[in-house]
Structure 1
């Protein structure tokens, strides 16, 4: 950290913009010094051998093409472009190709891996359809390219990113994985964010939750489908999956029920939601064993899209990837794989697409008015959605619980 601070001072004195263009070679040298003087001592204390360390970083240089980098001297800004679907229009996350492809291949995988899925469901209580949907979303059932050198990605982000401390810890965990012999250091491939293998575990999650599903003594989430299935099931079980409960149900929410009631901190018995007039869009009653359990209102596009009553298992799915839309995709595709359900009954409205900087400005205004929006990050999470609804109610407007361009004049100041 001291080394990076010294470089920061020198770049600021020379003018950050021009200095960064002229000093990439200097930053590369600083990176190598950081590996030797800061990363190696931490790795050694974590039980990593010099041989493993040297193999991992042989020929590794900074990857300047990765997103969210903050080179020394560069200011940190809220990005204006949406790099991921959950930052933009909610409906785009459920594109026809993505949903149909994950479903069709998932059904094939259900037949091919019936034995492994049955075994893991018996041991963890997690339905096979849910494991398949996560596997499909994360790596297209192992068919997606995982092209990056994990040590280059994690080291680059540990040295210069918006979450340097987080990625530095993940870098040490990756070295421990290589040291334990789960995969050779030179063969450890990851996503651009450092997520590993077919289930896309971050290294710390691998150390905690990856398991041997095929009995060969290794937890190989890169090449073993049985290990991948078992590891996903183990992860969800250890994060609190409740056996016998569903993930949620699409519902119709009458106008008398405010969208500001959304969120995992405003749960009610499902029978109480039912008494308020919320019904399943299928026309079927809620399962009797669910009616006496807690449920939570979920409206990921506010009044502009499908609505759901979800169970605690939905939030276990969200632990896998902190996105309402991700967890909803997994539950929905899982249901399509096993039960053959169709599309959501309600349509996604043409909302979203705002710049993150605009949403962040709205959030700051709402914070100033005393609302808890969950942080001014430019993302319309449930706390932001319901805060918008409460602001609308205070203004005498019907609550829609989703940011739209018409709000910018009043909130994005």
Structure 2
């Protein structure tokens, strides 16, 4: 027994030594990459040696970040998207009440700032406040990482090196040309910074001075943060005067497979099919002429919506149907005191994202466009499920169920 313990300790010591040696090797390669690869390009873009050296003076590659491919390896060590649990859409809205109450509390205090932003950019204050609350808890969330550590590591080792290379170069430009201190460059694990959680390229394009002091400080200035969020949405095409969408009831005779931004109709045409706003409300007269799109994030197992092009501007901020719905719904509740969704969310799930990805691959083999087998259930996957169900004599639900997942894997 004692000899076995000794052998285990030796094996552990050797393993730890090997790990330390590997980390040192990656560190050396990272330093060489900075000097021989990243610095020459930064220099060509007008970045000074002073800025470059200050940014990376105490930076080492953070090997705990996700989606890294270490030297000598062919794929990431962890594939979190396929190991994660498939969560019901309702889970996404668990903490919406905090964003709503926080937005209402700040709406009055920041009335002047918000009025100016609405006038300039055409984005409703409720939406801007909801994005702010969702992204950083109105500036209260901890942002733990050094941005150059994250962006440098990912530009060197991530699965999307080219994207992060542009981001780390943009971060250097923020310091060099926009006067941002390297000490202020704190980010999420993905490299998003400040209260709006902008990537560096987004900061350079969309961050604006909202308080008139000559700088765009998305870390400390509420006015700059709110104006920058509104500018981002406006620059992406927010349609002034239109809503983001409306919760509706969808008759069984209207297929859930009609969902998607490429299957739009005028809202008047949706109304003619029997789609109605919940609570007996009428669609605003000016919206009837505009195009609308069916959106059913849980298929027949949850609320349904007719959304406008502005819903997809919210998706430009974060490519998720549930994110856009969270922001739009929270914004309405901040502005108008609206209640929770009229239709409840059904109990769905009970499997992993790898199961969903397997189902998606099964649909792809049958010729359906699911938008990629990523374990995420976007509108292309939802309507593909509905179309497959219809062809196979199953009442269409347009959402993964255990039986459907098993049959299609």
Q: TM-score, normalised by structure 1?
A: 0.92
**What is the 5 A alignment of 1:264-413?**
264-412=261-409
The answer to whether the Cα contact below 8 Å between 1:182 and 1:220 also exists between their aligned partners in 2 is no
Q: CA deviation at 1:327?
A: 0.4
Q: Does 1:28 align with 2:27?
A: yes
Q: Which residue number corresponds to residue 194 of structure 1?
A: 191
SS in 2 for 1:308: strand
- Alpha-carbon distance between aligned partners in 2 of 1:183 and 1:27, rounded to the nearest angstrom: 29
Q: Which residue number corresponds to residue 207 of structure 1?
A: 204
Q: Which residue number corresponds to residue 62 of structure 2?
A: 63
Q: CA deviation at 1:326?
A: 0.3
SS in 2 for 1:66: coil
The answer to whether the Cα contact below 8 Å between 1:78 and 1:377 also exists between their aligned partners in 2 is no
User: Are the structure 2 counterparts of residues 209 and 181 from structure 1 closer, same or farther at C-alpha, using a change threshold of 3 Å?
Assistant: closer
Q: Which residue number corresponds to residue 82 of structure 1?
A: 84
- Alpha-carbon distance between aligned partners in 2 of 1:38 and 1:366, rounded to the nearest angstrom: 43
Q: How many residues align?
A: 391
- Alpha-carbon distance between aligned partners in 1 of 2:296 and 2:405, rounded to the nearest angstrom: 21
- Alpha-carbon distance between aligned partners in 1 of 2:350 and 2:270, rounded to the nearest angstrom: 31
The answer to whether the Cα contact below 8 Å between 1:149 and 1:190 also exists between their aligned partners in 2 is yes
SS in 2 for 1:169: helix
Deviations 1:114-165 (A, max 9, x none): 1111001000110111100000000011111111100001111111122221
Q: Does 1:259 align with 2:295?
A: no
**What is the 5 A alignment of 1:17-166?**
22-72=21-71, 73-76=73-76, 78-79=79-80, 80-82=82-84, 88-95=87-94, 98-166=95-163
User: Where do 4+ consecutive residues of structure 1 move more than 6 Å?
Assistant: 18-21
- Alpha-carbon distance between aligned partners in 2 of 1:235 and 1:182, rounded to the nearest angstrom: 21
RMSD: 1.6
- Alpha-carbon distance between aligned partners in 2 of 1:273 and 1:369, rounded to the nearest angstrom: 30
User: Are the structure 2 counterparts of residues 407 and 78 from structure 1 closer, same or farther at C-alpha, using a change threshold of 3 Å?
Assistant: farther
Structure 1 unaligned regions, length at least 5: 1-17
SS in 2 for 1:47: coil
Q: CA deviation at 1:74?
A: 4.5
Q: CA deviation at 1:220?
A: 0.5
SS in 1 for 2:305: strand
Q: CA deviation at 1:111?
A: 0.9
- Alpha-carbon distance between aligned partners in 2 of 1:137 and 1:45, rounded to the nearest angstrom: 38
Q: Which stretch of structure 1 is more off in the superposition, 160-169 or 237-246?
A: 160-169
Q: Which stretch of structure 1 is more off in the superposition, 332-341 or 403-412?
A: 403-412
Q: Which residue number corresponds to residue 12 of structure 2?
A: none
Q: Which residue number corresponds to residue 178 of structure 1?
A: 175
- Alpha-carbon distance between aligned partners in 2 of 1:66 and 1:112, rounded to the nearest angstrom: 38
Q: Which stretch of structure 1 is more off in the superposition, 124-133 or 363-372?
A: 363-372
User: Are the structure 2 counterparts of residues 175 and 274 from structure 1 closer, same or farther at C-alpha, using a change threshold of 3 Å?
Assistant: same
The answer to whether the Cα contact below 8 Å between 1:55 and 1:186 also exists between their aligned partners in 2 is no
Deviations 1:64-91 (A, max 9, x none): 22222222215247533338xxx62210
Q: TM-score, normalised by structure 2?
A: 0.93
- Alpha-carbon distance between aligned partners in 2 of 1:369 and 1:22, rounded to the nearest angstrom: 48
- Alpha-carbon distance between aligned partners in 2 of 1:190 and 1:386, rounded to the nearest angstrom: 36
- Alpha-carbon distance between aligned partners in 2 of 1:182 and 1:253, rounded to the nearest angstrom: 52
Q: Does 1:224 align with 2:221?
A: yes
- Alpha-carbon distance between aligned partners in 1 of 2:32 and 2:213, rounded to the nearest angstrom: 39
SS in 2 for 1:102: helix
